[in-house]
Every structure is written in C-alpha cells, then in structure tokens.
Amino acid sequence: MLIHASGAPQNRVSLMQFKVGYELVYSFPQPTPLILVVNVHDSRRSDMVVADDPVSEPLLPIAAYRDAFGNQCHRVLAPRGRFRLSANGIIDDSGLPDEPEYTAGQAMVQDLPDETLVFLLGSRYCETDLLSDTAWRLFGGTAPGYARVQAICDFVHNHLVFDYQNARATRTATQGFNERTGVCRDYAHLAIAFCRCMNIPARYCTGYLSDVGTPPPYAVGDFAAWFEAWIGGRWHLFDPRNNVPRIGRILMARGRDASDVAIVTTFGPNTLERFTVWTDEIPRGEMTQAVR
C-alpha cells in the first residue's frame, strides 16, 4: 500500500523507484548547533526501500525528535571548520501523477476539525490580515471548494514570475504579491495566504519533486514547496508553482509556512559551500525489491 502526499492510502503496486538525497557542506567559525528537517515524511515511510538517514562528516551523533507538527527532525552540534551532511535513500512510488478531486467541497469554519484551525491563521510568511481584502476581491465570486483553491493556484501561477536570481529568504506572501516574482516557496506562501483569507485551511509542504514527465532542459536539483488545502473532508495537494499534476512528489515535512520546516536552521554564523539535491528515477531493470 502506498501513501500519497495527501495522506490517503492508495492500494497500488509500485511502478517506479527514486533515489533521493542531498549533500550540504558548511564552514563554521565556531561549534554551532543545527536543526535538520530533511527526512522523508512518515506518511511515506512504508515506501522506503533504503532509509534516508542523515550522515555527517566528520562523523558525529545526530539526535532525532518530533516537532509540533509531527515532522521527523534531527539536531547536531557542528564542529568548527568544514562540516558535511548527506543522505541517500530509495523510495517506491506509484509512478502516477498527483490526483485532483474536482468535487471536493468547502466546509464552514464552524464545522472544521479542531486540528485544522491553526492553518486558518496568519503566520510568519502568510499575512492574512494584509491580503484579506485582496483575496475576497479576487476570489469571492468563485465556487467554494476545489474550484476556489484551483482559481487561487491559477492566479498565483500567472501572477508570479519564477526566478532563482530573485530568491530571498525573508520574502513574505504580501511582498511576493507586490513584487510579482519568487521561487516555489513564494508561490506556496501566496496561495496559502489567499486560501486562509477565504476560510480554507492551508498548510505548507516541502519535499522532493522529480522531473519525470516534464520536458528538458531540467533545472538543477532542489527541494520543492507546495501546499495542502482542507476541502472535501481531507487534505488535498496543490502546486501553484507548476500548476499541473506531477510524478514523483515525495513529502518531507508540513507546517504553517517555511519557517516551520526550514531544511537546516543554524544557530550561529556560517558559510554554505555546497548545496546539492537529487530525485533520480531508478531504471526499471535496476529497481530494488522492497522487503515488506
């Protein structure tokens, strides 16, 4: 049984495998604590063929814990000097694209489950107070539910111009709306903020995303951001950056916005010397047989 990013079980045979992982190389002027959120999410753990456990160089103990959103996190004290973090995992996948559910309706706020309410509120990068009037002006006339969330994604996809050169870690949803540029996290933040303004719970997601099914040339490997909206009684996946169903989407973590699921949080000065991410399809003849 496979678990898709929405958390819904899918009784399907694995058709593909992906090799996923990363290499992060830092230079620290002094011993520095780190928090890592770089593991495949528990909702996909049963699909893991080879675990993506983080390894450090020099080799140090890396402690695991769970955050308030249930994400698997790690912490380590990096030494002074050059420090390398890496992981290599293999995961089964259905090989099928994201699945829309066009009939999913929107619940009234008073009928929402308690655990979804936090995802209606403003957060560090999603300023609902600043965007509420704009959201209702743009989307107040759309049909509630899936159609409204898709209308938000369509708008964000067309409103922002993707540009790595304009990436900025401090850009908020309002700034993205005004500047009309950004990277995948900016698309997700703006769409999340608009959904919350329209009384739709929305949460930020980060993970791996393959290039399978997309035309070349392919971009340099990176982690991806998308979001999930609570409609039709469960969480549904939306990706305003790409705005089309994609194959090989592998969830790592969920939170209110990017501040909750930063890949690495460093508690001291540092220089990031290398950042490499891969989500590579394993040829069918080389697929590993998972032990269940």
152-164: pLDDT as tens digits: 999 999 999 999 8
CA–CA–CA angle 195, 198, 199 (5° rounding): 90
When pLDDT is averaged across residues 196-218 and rounded to a whole number, the result is 95
CB 79 within 8 A of CB 36: no
Q: What is the mean pLDDT of residues 103-124?
A: 98
Does residue 290 register a pLDDT over 50? Answer: no
- If one counts every other C-beta atom within 10 angstroms of the C-beta of residue 256, the result is 22
Six-digit token string for 261: 């699921």
Match 């249930």 to its residue by tokens. Answer: 70
3-class SS of residue 159: helix
Q: Phi and psi for 80 in degrees, rounded to 5? A: -65, 140
First to last CA, the chain: 10
pLDDT score, position 171: 98
pLDDT (average), residues 204-226: 93
Instruction: Please write the tens of the pLDDT for every residue from 253-284.
Output: 999 999 999 999 999 999 999 999 999 999 97
Separation in Å, CA 268 to CA 55, 77, 168: 21, 11, 19
The first and second tokens of residue 252, run together, are 């790592």
Task: Give the DSSP H or E segment for 237.
Answer: strand 234-238
Query: At residue 217, does pLDDT exceed 90?
Result: no
- Reply yes or no on whether the pLDDT at 4 is more than 90: no
Summary mean pLDDT of the chain? 93
Beta strands 72-78 and 48-50: pairing type? unpaired
The residue assigned the tokens 């159609």 is 147
Q: From CA 154, how far away is CA 112, in angstroms rounded?
A: 25
Q: What is the DSSP letter of 124?
A: T
Strand, helix or coil at 252? strand
List of domains in the chain: 2-95+263-282 (2.60.40.2250), 109-260 (3.10.620.30)
